[in-house]
Amino acid sequence: MSRHVMETDLALYAAGDLPVWRGAVVKFHVRGCAECRALVEALRVDRQELRRSADNMPANVDWDQLAAEMTANIRVGLAAGECVTPRERKIAAVSWRPMAIAAGLVVLLAGAWWLNVPRTDTETIGRALRNIATGQRAASPQEERGPVVGASSTGVELIENGGRMGIDQGGLEPVMFSVSTQGSASARYVDQNTGQVTITATYVQ
């Protein structure tokens, strides 16, 4: 015989676990091959030895507990292995649903701000944040404490106690405007069609 039978087939043959046809082929080979026959004999001796050892086990072994302890030991071993092996970064799968919820919340917050916070407060907060970012001194927030009257090409305006009063003349641009130190601002308009002059003003109370 030029080729030996595989060792796994010999082990199955020794235990009587090979199918009939394959078992016959191996039996034929083992009869003519001293080396394989010796191996089969050695395997049979080992089986008998194991059976004897099993007979020596305590009678009341809790196999479930034993299995649980073994599982726990395996997990401890795996965890210890993770500690000493560099971990690969896992990339979380991106799902559209959390993104949509986050975008919705942003829209909701922006809408709530727009609906509920007066523009003056938004401007004040923006100015304060800009001052923090640019490191400017806190002059501007202090200046907002007093009543302010203003006059410009957009008309006159009074800002006081969080309230605001602006007066223009329906989109007309004033021909002149001014403020006074007693707390008033005025703007003068000339109607191009009628020539009528109108002066609007705001006053600190």
Partner 1 sequence: MFNKFIVAVSVASAISLHGQALNHKIDFPKDSPVSLLSEDFGNSNATARGANLIDVNAALSLRNSGQKRIRSMTLMVSTPDAAGKGSVSVPTLDAGPGETFSVHISTRLVRPLTAGNPVVEVTLDGVLFDDLSFYGPDLLHSQRNMIRWELEAQRDRKYFKTLLAAGGPEGLRKEMLSSLARQGDSSQRGVQMVRGRATNIDAEPESQFAFLDIPESPVEASGGMARIGTNLAGAPRFEVRNRSPRAVQHLEISWIVKDQQGREFLAASMPADMKLAPNQSGQVAQDAALRFDRPISIQGMSGFVSSVEFADGSQWIPSRGALDQTRLRQLVAPSPEEQRLSQIYTRKGIQALIDELKKF
CA pair distance 101, 108, nearest whole angstrom: 10
The correct pick among 11, 25, 33, 201 for binding partner 1 (CB under 8 A) is 201
CA pair distance 157, 164, nearest whole angstrom: 7
Site for partner 1 in 90-109 (CB under 8 A): 100-101, 104, 107-108
CA pair distance 180, 183, nearest whole angstrom: 6
The correct pick among 27, 46, 48, 114 for binding partner 1 (CB under 8 A) is 114
* Nearer to partner 1 among residue 29 and residue 174 (C-beta): 174
CA pair distance 118, 2, nearest whole angstrom: 98
User: Would you count residue 126 as binding partner 1 (CB under 8 A)?
Assistant: no
- Taking residues 4 to 43 in sequence order and writing x for each that binds partner 1 by CB under 8 A, - otherwise, the string is ----------------------------------------
User: Would you count residue 57 as binding partner 1 (CB under 8 A)?
Assistant: no
The correct pick among 13, 26, 36, 202 for binding partner 1 (CB under 8 A) is 202
CA pair distance 150, 170, nearest whole angstrom: 18
Question: What single-letter DSSP state applies at residue 174?
Answer: P
User: Would you count residue 128 as binding partner 1 (CB under 8 A)?
Assistant: no
Could you give phi then psi for residue 152, rounded to 5 degrees?
-155, -175
User: Would you count residue 135 as binding partner 1 (CB under 8 A)?
Assistant: no
Residue of 199, 190, 198, 186 whose CA lies nearest to 150: 186
Contact range with partner 1 by CB under 8 A, out of 4-12, 47-55, 66-74, 168-176: 168-176
Distances (CA, A) of 155 to 160, 175, 201, 203: 17, 10, 9, 14
Binding site for partner 1 (CB under 8 A): 100-101, 104, 107-108, 111, 114-118, 120-121, 137, 139, 142-154, 158-171, 175-183, 185, 188, 190, 192, 195-205
